[in-house]
Chain A
Amino acid sequence: MTTVALSPARRAWLVVADQELRDLWLGGRGLALTFAYSLLLSIITYLTATNSVLNFLEQREAVNLTLQIGVAFGALLVLLTTADALSGERERGSLESLLLAPVHRADLVAGKGMAALSIWLVAFVVSIPYLWFLARGVGIVGVALAGGLVVGTLLSLFLAGLGLLISSLATSNRVSLSLSLFVLLAFFAPTQLPSSAQQGWAGDLFIRIDPFSAGLHYLGKILVDGHNAGQEIAWLLSPLIAAGSAVLAALGASRFLTLRGGGPS
């Protein structure tokens, strides 16, 4: 539960973020999610390094595989956190006291979003040793880390905005979580398209429009194909627009944040 006591010198969203960060990390939920995330990366790294089939991959592809999984699951953790942020308070009966606090609702949403983004930053820090281990032999540690940070941050911002938007309007926590995961799967689906379906202008457009496909494709271009990061920067347009739109939508929807949910009536 978040309780807000404003001091005049601090911005309201910072106070909310501070309280949410304590809840997330001292409450243990953040560490539990990070533990699961590190286990996943450990399994992927171990298999990549020792399994005869996966180690058959070119080393750049092994780095790309691990980084894409790290970015995708890091962003997923942000979505899980934000999808619970407001609908969870509503379900636990603590939203009323939050809404009565002298805080603008946009500050409330921004503070919760900032705290949720911390889980991506921690996930990224956790992924550094794995990426270093895999990428050290081919000299792409820096590119992998920089690319992963940029793409992961954009996708995390997008999912943070999306999760908060759904959570602020959902009537129950279950609806919020299931709808968020459904939307996430819909965005992930194009990444599984067979390569033949990605050919031609329609396939290319489809991949460029979907922020997940575009972001992960960008990582593949700079890591596997060895392209310059600036040369392929157009692939980041879709994640950038999606991140900005989702954050603005979440802040805009905060006006309709009510005790019962369900959006504007």
Chain B
Amino acid sequence: MRHCAVTVAALVFVACLAVSARAATVLLQSKPVTATIGQLFTFVTTVENQSSSPAAGLVAHLNVLSNDPGTYVDPEDWSSHRTQYLPTIGPNRDLRLTWTVQVVNSGSFSVYVAVLPRHGAGDVVTSAPLRVTVAQRRTLNSSGVLPLTLGIPAIIGLLGLGAHRRRS
């Protein structure tokens, strides 16, 4: 009898884990973003627990991909905080998650958030993709750099030579 109760409790726990991610939905709260390289932007997603039991042990993960083949994307460059371990979300409650991203490539990208249970079985639920269009921008106009980078050491060098001649 006691073994039976333990088994039932374990089954209920596993079942809760299994349904926790499935019962949750991830809603994207932001509009498409147009940015330039280096720009930081934030967007918000909401994780909703639509079931009548608490959703525990969920983790949300940010992903970035290029919509164009040939553009390499390293999501670590886009955000250093891509994973959020979520607290328990009560029945029919939601949780706002804010994500900060820095665009480091030019082109067309999709950013989305996936939510899944940390342990056991369960589905992965994802948000709608946030479309990000990044304009190519040459960050610095290099014209005029040569006179500057040669001129200043030259002036100081001439001053040094003058001081040396004066001493000798």
State the A residues within 8 Å of B (CB): 25-28, 31-32, 34-35, 38-39, 41-43, 45-46, 48-50, 55-62, 126, 129-130, 133-134, 137, 195-196, 225
Give the residues in chain A near B138, CB-CB below 8 Å.
55
How distant is the Cα of A49 from the Cα of B143 in the complex, in angstroms? 8
B38 and A26 within 8 A (CB):
no
Known A-B contacts: A27-B167, A126-B156, A133-B145. Give 7 more (CB < 8 A): A32-B160, A46-B145, A46-B146, A59-B140, A60-B38, A129-B148, A133-B144
Pair A137/B153 contact, Cβ less than 8 Å = no
Q: Is there contact, CB below 8 Å, between A28 and B163?
A: yes
Residues of B within 8 A of A28 (CB): 160, 163-164, 167
Mask, B126-168, CB within 8 Å of A = 1, is 0000000000001111101110111011001101100110110
Which residues of chain B are near A43, meaning CB under 8 Å?
149
Taking A50-B142, A58-B38, A60-B38 as contacts, is the C-beta distance between A45 and B148 under 8 angstroms? Answer: yes
A41 to chain B, nearest CB (A): 8
A49 touches B142 (CB 8 A): yes
Q: List 5 A–B pairs whose Cβ atoms lie within 8 Å, in order of A's numbering.
A: A42-B149, A130-B152, A133-B148, A137-B140, A195-B80
Interface presence of B37 (CB below 8 A):
yes
Is the CB–CB distance between A45 and B160 below 8 Å? no
Chain A residues near B167: list those with CB within 8 A.
26-28
CA distance A137 to B146 in the complex (A): 17
Cβ of A48 to closest chain B Cβ, rounded Å: 7
Which residues of B lie under 8 Å from residue A49 when comparing CB positions?
A: 140-142, 145
In the A-B complex, list the 3 residue pairs whose CB atoms are closest, starting with the nearest: A58-B38, A42-B149, A49-B142
**Would A59 and B38 count as touching, CB distance under 8 A?**
yes
Given A31-B159, A35-B160, A58-B37, CB of A129 within 8 Å of CB of B152: yes
> With the chains together, A31 CA to B167 CA distance in Å?
13
CB distance from B155 to the nearest CB of A (A): 8
List of B residues within 8 angstroms of A59 by Cβ: 38, 139-140
B149 and A46 contact, CB distance less than 8 A? yes
Complexed CA–CA distance, A49 and B149 (Å):
11
Chain B hits for A50, CB < 8 A: 142, 145
The docked-state distance in angstroms from the alpha carbon of A134 to that of B157 is 23
Q: Kindly report which residue of chain B lies nearest to residue A196, judged by CB atoms.
A: B80
**Pairwise interchain contact A126-B140, C-beta atoms closer than 8 A:** no
Q: Which residue from chain A places its CB closest to the CB of B157 in the assembled complex?
A: A35
Q: Is the CB of B38 within 8 A of A42?
A: no
B39 contacts across to A, CB distance below 8 A: 58
User: In the complex, A25→B160 CA distance in Å?
Assistant: 9
Residues of A within 8 Å of B157, CB to CB, are 35
Q: Using Cβ atoms and an 8 Å threshold, which residues of chain B touch A25?
A: 163
Residues on A with C-beta less than 8 A from B166 are: 26
B89 to chain A, nearest CB (A): 24
A42 touching B139 by the CB < 8 A rule?
Answer: no
**A62: which of B139, B153, B163, B164 is its contact (CB, 8 Å)?**
B139
Give the residues in chain A near B153, CB-CB below 8 Å. Answer: 35, 38-39, 42
Complex Cα–Cα for A35 and B37 (A): 35
Rounded to whole Å, the gap between the CB of A35 and the closest CB of chain B is: 5
